[in-house]
A and B are shown apart, each in its own frame.
Chain A
């Protein structure tokens, strides 16, 4: 909402014109000021002059020779316009002045020879001055009432009052009433406690009664429709002052009738529409919802398919306007129109919002109707429009408007108690002060002890409850004046799962991984590239109905595509080794166990390690790290899984349940994501890992020395080392302290189908130093178990 300070001054005796002070006040009232702009002319050096003589050019029929007096000197000027005679007060562009329809391409006025006569400067048209589109003739200032003989020689911008400061105010969606000069002036008047100088239109109506009929079929869609006929208007340019006002708020002047509609909308906040009365069939307006299959060609020439939700202004022959959004082409007020119908109507805001969004037709009018326009403003707005149209376009209004008002809205009462105010705002302001603040904003409060019946004016449809009134009180009182009290809660402890999540992240960072954040979307191509088998739940992603791009049309079922993509991008940018992880939610096509109304959205942890410094064991090592940090026992079970290299692939198992995978990316998949070398990856469900494991308890340590032995076994290839360790652990008895696998060896003297695995065994008793004899017995037990259970052999003997 653009608000020129000069225009605000129509409604207020401004105590200050300092734009920054006005900005400060508007912001404190909740109206953010986005910018403060100078509205200044695009010309320079143009002054007021008077045509002293005008006569024919000696060598040309279409142009005339003039003598222009500027208050000090007289100049010879040649002019091509015919809309003035001697004595006219005009805009004289002296030699050296600048003109410009737009400020970026100024035209410097010089001394020019035209058909043998030297012209010292020129007499300017409105268009040449950047004051509108009119270039039919020059700007005749005295005819427009804009300047007189006293102004000769004065700068034109000064005479026209052409420099104003415009505040661009952002109006929140609940305050449609502030989408106007009058509405903002009302806020400022409340702040300054000064009267609002309201408009009081008195159109000069003729005696003839209206012969139009207005039928409202849907009073919810249209609670009020005011229609006023004006006969015999002359379409032409609007007066300069009106054009300037419209230019200052960024609206291009078009013609008197259109300009008045816009002017009233900006001034009062009530959109106005005008029809060519002759084009309305049977002089009958019908307001109704659109029927299925109806169409309307709107003012912009587009044929619009209508929808049953749209509200229409129609006549018996069909739709003539899309209510509150855009007029129809057939009833447009053309240059030839003589009899017009002025509409000031109130529309159901959600319907306007629906139609304007559906058709992508957001306009200044729809923006106001969407927020809500005061239905009791329609009469005033129609009268103001009629007054201004007769002033600028002539014509005779019918004796009275047709005012169809099937469901009048009257002001309503809200009961406000002192407690309502105090419990939200504290002791200050007092109830009495609060009611006084409301009074300043136009809320009439009748106090009865600790309560008051507050009457809400109809332009404040956003105020219906005590809390709404409390906001009004707080706003005018000034948010700055409330105390700053720090409100302390009860406990700030993290839950065990939250603490574990932080510890886990810290550990991964400490292990060299960098946290990434990728989008929550995938494309079908990502899922295809993963080569998931048909039944894999990760294939069944939930689709977004209105995705921004097809590559972001599916909610992610795995974090890996995003993370692999990020790794590939980094490598393509020149990095050698990339270690990334992400924690985040994935989305499953299954109900959430806690709330079956929504899909399951488990948290996952994923890692991608790529480059020459990492291998698949860097990834399995991270699984071990996760287990140690969270205290959750995780096992790696070798098995060929999708996404991974079949020989370098394992499930991660927690408490007997697979919760994820770890391994090397399948090379062809890695290539599809743009990774040329080997890359390791893992992805696990976080929720089971981060569940509350309770408090851990310390185990006592022994003060006696350990006995350490190395054992090397020949083990069949099919047996994973984890099984060897498990078997050894189960058979080693109570004094086992550690089993560390430190060597794997194939070939040489090792028979085919076998490999050698060397394990360091540490034994220690809590209560004594173990003897070699005791240790030997333990090793024999281990050996027997490995031989019996795994088909292994001991190398080198005990």
Chain B
């Protein structure tokens, strides 16, 4: 084969490679062009019979022809392969907006997540979390908290009492009741350890309240207690203002006004400026010396502050919930809105 013939063969074969419409055709065309029985391979076998000066030029042309046709076939192959894959991919297409395969996910109750949020704010400044019994002795709920035996909060119109669980009749401080506040845990906590004390206590509390939009016989509180050798009223204010800022957002302003609780002196109520009004958010005060006496702390050596807040109230204010009954109806259309 002379050079001209080689060129012609290459040209023809290159056109056929480029024109191959699928991988099978390409394989056939490639085999015909550079396969063992192709003209060009036959020509290479005949090179040895040529005159030495032609041997070099023809040999070079043949090798170059095989190389270029092989490369052209490879290029065409990758084009055809990609096209074939695209067809398959197009066939795989799905509607990605179909709602399949969603993982199940429930929700935490808002009262739980709110209580966790409050506890975590206090944990971040070094307060531990503790819980106490719901069925309590009058001693812890009232007497040790400096509440006189005749205080109206002890009446059955406010407090739920229970019958004996073991046949033994209990009177006075030993009477059993459903705690009306988380404050009894202040006493239990201090009874079991020495100062300093930094703790928050979430829990369920009970009152003889009939249901309405803002009252429930069962609700939740979070108690806080800090006792150390040098705690002042400013510590109470600053700590609770810090909490309000963390919980309601940095813009939350707070205001403290005098109030009365049997177990703190001085006592205060914290108001928070939220959505354009001052809202009563929690009660607080410096721990009354009689409470320290009741737990065996020396009121001359330690001071402290205590506070208590309603979890329902916090959640209702923050999330715009207007009826407390939503928390206990367990309607999944409501629970499902929680996070």
Q: Within 8 Å of chain A (Cβ to Cβ): is B60? A: no
Q: Within 8 Å of chain A (Cβ to Cβ): is B163? A: yes
- Tell me whether A494 and B160 are in contact in the complex, defined as CB-CB below 8 angstroms, given that A484-B234, A515-B106, A548-B208 are known contacts: no
Q: Within 8 Å of chain B (Cβ to Cβ): is A470? A: yes
Instruction: Report Cα–Cα, A515/B110, bound state, in Å.
Output: 9
A492 close to B123 (CB less than 8 A):
yes
Contact of B232 among A424, A480, A578, A579 (CB under 8 A): A424
Instruction: Report Cα–Cα, A521/B134, bound state, in Å.
Output: 12
B336 close to A514 (CB less than 8 A):
yes
- Pick out which of these stretches binds chain A: B6-14, B63-71, B260-268: B260-268
Q: Counting chain A CB atoms within 10 Å of each CB, which of B178, B238, B330 scores highest?
A: B330
Contact of A512 among B106, B230, B257 (CB under 8 A): B106
Contact of A487 among B208, B239, B336 (CB under 8 A): B239
A357 close to B330 (CB less than 8 A):
no
Looking at chain A, what size class is its interface with the partner chain? 35 or more
Instruction: Report Cα–Cα, A595/B148, bound state, in Å.
Output: 24
Shortest distance in angstroms between A405's beta carbon and chain B's nearest beta carbon? 24
Instruction: Report Cα–Cα, A573/B126, bound state, in Å.
Output: 45
Q: Within 8 Å of chain B (Cβ to Cβ): is A30? A: yes
- Pick out which of these stretches binds chain B: A215-223, A381-389, A538-546, A648-656: A538-546
A491 close to B128 (CB less than 8 A):
yes
Q: Within 8 Å of chain A (Cβ to Cβ): is B161? A: yes
Kindly list chain A residues whose C-beta atoms are within 8 Å of the C-beta of B275: none
Contact of A570 among B148, B286, B331 (CB under 8 A): B331
Shortest distance in angstroms between A421's beta carbon and chain B's nearest beta carbon? 10
A515 close to B303 (CB less than 8 A):
no
- Pick out which of these stretches binds chain A: B22-30, B45-53, B151-159: B151-159
Shortest distance in angstroms between B303's beta carbon and chain A's nearest beta carbon? 6
B234 close to A485 (CB less than 8 A):
yes
Contact of A505 among B104, B112, B129, B238 (CB under 8 A): B112
Q: Within 8 Å of chain A (Cβ to Cβ): is B73? A: no
B328 close to A518 (CB less than 8 A):
yes
Kindly report which residue of chain B lies nearest to residue A583, judged by CB atoms: B112
Q: Counting chain A CB atoms within 10 Å of each CB, which of B163, B178, B208 scores highest?
A: B163
Q: Within 8 Å of chain B (Cβ to Cβ): is A498? A: yes
Contact of B204 among A350, A512, A580, A585 (CB under 8 A): A585
Q: Within 8 Å of chain B (Cβ to Cβ): is A118? A: no
Kindly list chain A residues whose C-beta atoms are within 8 Å of the C-beta of B178: 520, 544, 555
Contact of A474 among B226, B258, B288 (CB under 8 A): B258
Q: Mark B233-258, 1 if CB is under 8 A from A, else 0.
A: 11111110110000000000001111
- Tell me whether A591 and B109 are in contact in the complex, defined as CB-CB below 8 angstroms, given that A480-B256, A489-B128 are known contacts: no
A505 close to B108 (CB less than 8 A):
yes
Instruction: Report Cα–Cα, A490/B8, bound state, in Å.
Output: 92
A552 close to B104 (CB less than 8 A):
no
Q: Within 8 Å of chain A (Cβ to Cβ): is B142? A: no
B160 close to A546 (CB less than 8 A):
yes
A579 close to B135 (CB less than 8 A):
no
Shortest distance in angstroms between B113's beta carbon and chain A's nearest beta carbon? 9
A601 close to B108 (CB less than 8 A):
no
Kindly list chain A residues whose C-beta atoms are within 8 Å of the C-beta of B297: none
B137 close to A597 (CB less than 8 A):
yes
Kindly report which residue of chain A lies nearest to residue B163, judged by CB atoms: A543
B156 close to A545 (CB less than 8 A):
yes
Q: Within 8 Å of chain A (Cβ to Cβ): is B174? A: yes
Kindly list chain A residues whose C-beta atoms are within 8 Å of the C-beta of B333: 573
Q: Mark A520-561, 1 if CB is under 8 A from B, else 0.
A: 110000000000000000000011111110001001000000
Q: Within 8 Å of chain B (Cβ to Cβ): is A32? A: yes
Instruction: Give 21 pairs: A residue, B residue, CB < 8 Å, sorted on A.
Output: A173-B260, A350-B150, A353-B150, A357-B152, A426-B233, A471-B265, A482-B232, A486-B125, A487-B236, A489-B125, A489-B199, A491-B126, A492-B128, A511-B104, A515-B112, A515-B335, A517-B109, A585-B133, A585-B204, A588-B165, A597-B174
| New A-B pairs, 20, CB < 8 Å, besides A423-B232, A509-B106, A601-B135 | A27-B257, A172-B260, A349-B150, A424-B303, A471-B266, A485-B239, A487-B226, A490-B196, A491-B128, A515-B106, A520-B206, A521-B218, A555-B135, A569-B329, A570-B330, A579-B106, A585-B134, A591-B165, A598-B176, A599-B165
